A and B are shown apart, each in its own frame.
Chain A
């Protein structure tokens, strides 16, 4: 299985990532149900970290706890610490809105606003009260970074809902870039897209890595192998008495190592397709 062609050579990566965003013993609960338990994980600055594992292993749940999107769900609770630049984002005086300004998110299904392409991009800077000298420039910059500018530059005033699925997803990435976050979280961003659109988004992730810290949840192992510098493998632990499935972190390392030389039997089984 040739899977490491696009992986950055391990040599340019430090052995231990400099965690711009970091989980320390994180548990995520929905009410009394523990969805994820005891995850400690650094997300290296300007690296792409992939979270992989079978369905129901809590990857998306963990991702949503990284910018407090879980706050919107009734009964969701996070124990342990999630730190951004050393600050606990669940700290008492911390404002979830400030957190989300710095840690953006791209969702599974493209969710452009029912507005023009231009207004989709300008929305974030406007609501954040960013000082923008020329909104047109900012829109162009964001769309260019998201590799969408050439396709939409002549129809900025048209509804974003008229774009194709892949274009919509790149628009959502551009929209996120426009608020100048430090981290971009991506929750299976390609699962609703065709292979060509997927390839474009993956290319984009390589470009974006130079400026942003990226965390991506994916079901697709090849995708993780193609885009991620480091990979964290999760699995679901089934409680024998209650039958509850709780997500646990099995192994974390450079992507090449995870795929070529997994240390844990469960990782190896999953990678080689014997499980999940």
Chain B
């Protein structure tokens, strides 16, 4: 065995196939960035055309939305108020119910109970939104609000849409809040119990404050889902764009407008077509801002313990 004979035996062979496949993987990961860039360009470029014709102040603060009429008007506030109403109503239901479920699962339920109940919430999250929409308009609006409660409302209302949307986002809020609650160290629970606090006091005064940023993040994520939801509001909130003054009124949200406007065949590059993207851009900016807040809060929570 001479070392000279061995020289070079450990040298690597080039592996072009290996390098090529790994490049493919890298390209696939980069594709996600391409999608983001695509979304931004897809929304911004038509919006530039739109804002060349419609002053941005009129768009943001105008109170009449009638892009298809002869005397067209592009005040987006009616769409925004409808989105606000449905989102607020959704949160009104989803936040207490979602948090209550989270506290029960995290602080009270036996693991066996949790194992049975969590899938129920998961099923709720898996129902197609169009089915929620059907239920909102056919049962909640037509049967519950009109027939049973005899409320003064038409075929559509932001209340029916918002309520059903609220149930839709319960799983989102419940599961993220539960993670936040479970992440609170047991030492805090034991410390509180050792001072004679009961479980309610421990939960409300110790665990909740400790988990508050995670809970806020959960609520914010719920907001983002409610703002972006399309099918429920398109079916149950109505399609007339007007300022919404009360929960029993109908109103067209931003997403519902986009869905409705896209059904018509508008010519690419026309003002009608561009309108769609201006509203889309506004929607995108709102959800993006909300997401960033949520992500940064979640990241802070992870560092906490």
Size of interface on A: residues with Cβ below 8 Å to B: 13
B12 at the interface (CB under 8 A from A): yes
A51 to B202, CA, bound (A): 53
Residues of A near B21 (CB, < 8 A) are none
Q: Are A95 and B3 in contact (CB under 8 A)?
A: no
> Does A209 touch B at the CB level, under 8 Å?
no
Question: Does B11 lie within 8 Å of A86, measured CB to CB?
Answer: no
Contact A86 B10 (CB under 8 A): no
Of B1, B7, B12, B13, the residue contacting A87 (CB under 8 A) is B7
Q: Closest CB of chain B to A182's CB: distance in Å?
A: 10
Q: Is the pair B1, A95 in contact by a Cβ cutoff of 8 Å?
A: no
A85 to B9, CA, bound (A): 10
A79-104 vs B: 1/0 string, CB under 8 Å? 00000111101010111011100100
Chain B interface mostly: loop
Q: Are A95 and B12 in contact (CB under 8 A)?
A: yes
Expressed in whole angstroms, the Cα–Cα distance for A89 and B10 within the complex equals 7
A89 to B9, CA, bound (A): 10
Q: How far is the CA of A86 from the CA of B3 in the complex (A)?
A: 6
CA distance A99 to B11 in the complex (A): 9
A95 touches B6 (CB 8 A): no
In whole angstroms, how far apart are the Cα atoms of A91 and B9 in the complex?
12
Q: Judging by beta carbons under 8 Å apart, are B9 and A95 in contact?
A: no
**A99–B7 Cα gap in the complex (Å)?**
13
CA gap between A98 and B12 in the complex, in Å: 7
Pair B7/A95 contact, Cβ less than 8 Å = no
Minimal beta-carbon separation of A54 from chain B (angstroms): 33
- Closest chain A residue to B7, Cβ basis: A87
Beta-carbon contacts under 8 Å, A155-212 to B: none
A85 and B12 form a contact (CB under 8 A): no
Interface set of B (CB-CB < 8 Å, partner A): 1, 3, 6-13
* Between-chain CB contacts (< 8 Å), 27 pairs: A84-B10, A85-B1, A85-B3, A85-B6, A85-B9, A86-B3, A86-B6, A86-B7, A87-B3, A87-B7, A87-B8, A87-B9, A87-B10, A91-B10, A93-B11, A93-B12, A94-B10, A94-B12, A95-B10, A95-B13, A97-B12, A98-B9, A98-B10, A98-B12, A99-B10, A102-B9, A102-B10
Chain A residues close to B by CB (< 8 Å): 84-87, 89, 91, 93-95, 97-99, 102
